[in-house]
Structure 1
């Protein structure tokens, strides 16, 4: 609760539309977390609350506690989601969308810049992977899996070229094509990148079934449909 107060002070506002429980706190009972966010909303400091990188089981537990205790349940989850990171959003959370109306605000839609294509010819100076303190990112782009993914980005660039767009716009539009994605968080280091990213909204309509099939053939990582025991 004190963290929300401090955030509102820094933002110079009285309330926010949505506040997230950033990562599950394994040392705090979920009921206590639910009650804390219920208090924040009742105090008028937020309209809704959500989770960030919680498991499906943890989200369902929070939802069940809220319903049992007549409290406000989480409405949104903030997971990582992109062409290379799909399992949680497409499989683990699959039953939550219909069962509790879960929405998602996804982060890292460009896989730390990998899906922009800028790392296909090495690491350009000035990019995050070349900066001090980002050695962890640089090492990620140099392992065997990254080499394979960079090759896949090269193939995705061919599809983007056919559509007359950038591969970054293709990757962003791909996330928005998923009906369970409510919001896509993008990052930018230059104003022009924001403008280019926003154009992805116009690209969604270009992602026909045929285009999506071509993308799936390149990625080859579509999670299997979750089993239903009903």
Structure 2
């Protein structure tokens, strides 16, 4: 069954390679063909099935990345599984540098089955970049959608990059967050103290009130009846 899926995917890839140049974002027919190619490969190691060498993948990637193709592929070849998250089919690198970095180099290739858009996320030397297919002559660029794993990696790298480019603003934000946290803590402590004080006052007043009522009752009993 596994071998059959691989053979079927290869045959579909060969059929699709003939129409790579005419691939358009939003083309439903070609989107279905691409889905038919990718769906059976979910869970497979992309290197074992020559995923990156399939013309339908490689040709589109080289068109998107240009001179970024090789450094991106160096990372992507460490991917261990073709994955799916909703309408998104993707592969993500598993490369971990020998030296600990603030942001790990990472690459991800994503194909959106709803739009037929292919996109690549690349984090190299801490710098996050996004490359994606677009419709030529369109008034607005189409924003690619990324799965959770790649989205989180990109946002983390972006935050670190912003902090490095504007350390004063990053420090100011950190101080503001620290101040807010401290103020909230002080408010909670004050509220707790007030609550404890009120509880103690109530506890102390209740016995006194009972004693006073008892004394008044005894006095009334001691008075002679008229």
TM-score, normalised to structure 1, is: 0.21
TM-score, normalised to structure 2, is: 0.21
Q: Which has the larger radius of gyration?
A: 2
RCO (CA 8 Å, sep 6+): is it higher in 1 or 2? 1
Higher helix share: 2
